[in-house]
Amino acid sequence: MSLSKKNIADGLVREMEISHAQALQLTNDFFNQIQLKLAAGEEIKLASFGNFTLREKSARPGRNPRTGEEIVISARRVVGFKAGPKLKKLTQEG
């Protein structure tokens, strides 16, 4: 099963005893803040969870897998995630 914003909101409704509309708003606001900070070039550090970082990837040669044609893969910024120690430990135990 994958985790969706709705699943997160449902959990907040159970844990915090708030309305579903409030929980969904809280969930959306949380993810919007992460998106805004990353778009502004800032890193995100969530204690006990992990860090979202931005990396610059330079242009490089590549190949179209269908045609074999050589192309240039453009420079871009990508988001990376590194799990924190507690998250790593939890995922190793499962």
Q: What is the DSSP string of 16-58?
A: H---HHHHHHHHHHHHHHHHHHHHTT--EEETTTEEEEEEEE-
State the pLDDT confidence band at 94, using cuts at 50, 70 and 90: low
**How far is Cα 35 from Cα 72, in angstroms, rounded to an integer?**
28
Q: pLDDT of 32-62, one tens digit each?
A: 999 999 999 999 999 999 999 999 999 999 9
Domain 43-94 - what CATH class? few secondary structures
pTM for the full model?
0.77
Q: Which two tokens stand for residue 87?
A: 């998250």
pLDDT value at 1 more than 80 = no
